[in-house]
Structure 1
């Protein structure tokens, strides 16, 4: 169950989308919603950076705090209007990545926007939290407008430990879903991870939890991430579940990989776990 959901709060263009997704889950699971905003750096770091250039850097730092607090107030007001009953605001005087990582320790799920590489986003935030955090991450595209997340779900299954963790993290939604498609892409290439019948054992595991699941097998010569997104698009899924960084981060981030595609290009929310 999701009882504490942490949302990254800022004034970026994706804020409304991630708030809608987080509030939808908070209402469905009667969860406590925590907005986490950061100043961008701690006061000691800011003073060290600006002390030789500004007469009163403390005033500028207070302005950064005020901006973050205003974002939190807006988050709380909007969340309550959307129907969230238990809402909390938390301001952290630190780097955005470390601040969200700290708050994630005490949550069941963390919600961020995609890494769109825009000027109003924190570069690499979802990747950083996914790799260094201990909690699953819901990554929401800017265009998400509040469609149901858990009616139809696609689960990417490659037999990896990361995929197992993602499936376990998504289980509260999977058991409620109308349909779940367990998608295997190029399963023959990873036959040692799947057993005699690829997907059968995981499908049985999910069925024992009451999940209505079908196995879908795809073959492609293109990127696996794009194949998964294609399965989700074809069946009108509201959520995609996948393991994050099953290969080395160097291969994923520099050479390209499933995680990069899902976190940057998905048109629907993606739940990932590392």
Structure 2
């Protein structure tokens, strides 16, 4: 199993080059075709467009064309240096709708966490979360801070037995099969008994057998959930303790509206991630 078509989101943000470099390295691993999808904010009232209030609408459009051409040249030049098959796409239309359409024809998406200190990283409200929820494809989300020296050498898989966790584990198989170490972590909220499973059976034994059938030898751990510390923060702390360079998790186990209002693991990750996170819904 491998990813044969990758799609990287390109914009005018400072972190776009990091995503491109990472996506080219991943394309090299699987001899994959890389699509560079240029999608940026189209709201002229956003801060990136208000840096000079004296510019006319025509001048703003001209500047947008210059930024797009600069991004295109940088992407194609990087792909040529890497010797990778790549194509550039900058289709018109509403940003999220365009991204959703093109994302559905890729095996893996490479996206970026929004940087609150970089207006150019804003596309639409909840852009990454909506894309993860609606595209039907796994998304590798890259933090806006820190270097990505390695990816997939030491992987932490968050497991809770849910549909979303199972989907994420399956979508991450190409990475898990190449990893030097895979750890499966279960955040325990309370003691419960599953009548379908022996009380003496260790948690996660079923996913362990499934992973082993796919050539992935994993270690298992159970992390207690502490009052006042969310599951997302617990997982990030665990990833830091284990020096993981990739966290794999299911996204939006609760309804999107509930996660936005009350918080949730997905929301915590999108706001506070410290390592790249592969998410699936």
TM-score, normalising length: structure 1: 0.87
Q: 1:194 to 1:67 in 2, by over 3 A?
A: farther
Identify which of 117, 132, 135 aligns with 1:133: 135
* Structure 1 position 261 matched with structure 2 position 268: yes
The aligned residue for residue 6 of structure 2 is 5
Question: 1: distance between equivalents of 2:187 and 2:240?
Answer: 15
Choose the corresponding residue for 2:235, options 228, 248, 273: 228
**Does structure 2 retain, via aligned residues, the 8 Å contact 1:17–1:142?**
no
Change in CA separation of 1:98 and 1:229 when aligned onto 2, cut-off 3 Å: same
2:112 paired with 1:113:
yes
Tell me, in whole angstroms, the C-alpha distance in 2 between the residues paired with 1:102 and 1:194.
40
Instruction: State the alpha-carbon separation in 2 of the partners of residues 217 and 146 from structure 1.
Output: 27
Contact kept, 8 Å, 1:137 with 1:271, in 2: the verdict is: yes
| Aligned equivalents of 2:74, 2:9: Cα separation in 1 | 13
Who is 1:205 aligned against?
210
User: How far 1:246 moved relative to its partner?
Assistant: 0.3
Structure 2 residue aligned with 1:182 = 184
User: 1:218 aligned to 2:217?
Assistant: no
> Alpha-carbon deviation of 1:159?
0.8
Q: After superposition, give the CA deviation of every residue in 1:10-60 in whole Å (9 maximum; x if it has no partner).
A: 110221221222122111111111100136459xxxxxxxxxxxxx96786
Unaligned runs of 5+ in 1: 43-55
Q: Equivalent residue for 2:27?
A: 26
Corresponding residue number in structure 2 for 1:75: 75
Asked if structure 2 preserves the Cα contact closer than 8 Å seen for 1:110 and 1:138, the reply is: yes
Distance 1:151 1:39, change over 3 A: closer
Give the stretch that moved more between structures: 108-117 or 26-35: 108-117
Name the SS for the 2:233 alignment partner.
Answer: helix
* Structure 1 runs of 4+ with >6 Å offset: 56-59
Q: Work out the CA distance in 2 between the residues paired with 1:72 and 1:144.
A: 25
TM-score, with length taken from structure 2: 0.85
Could you tell me whether the CA contact under 8 Å between 1:130 and 1:244 is conserved in 2?
Answer: yes
Identify unmatched segments of 5+ residues in structure 2. 44-55
> Number of matched residues?
260
Determine the C-alpha separation between the residues in 2 that align with 1:13 and 1:180.
31
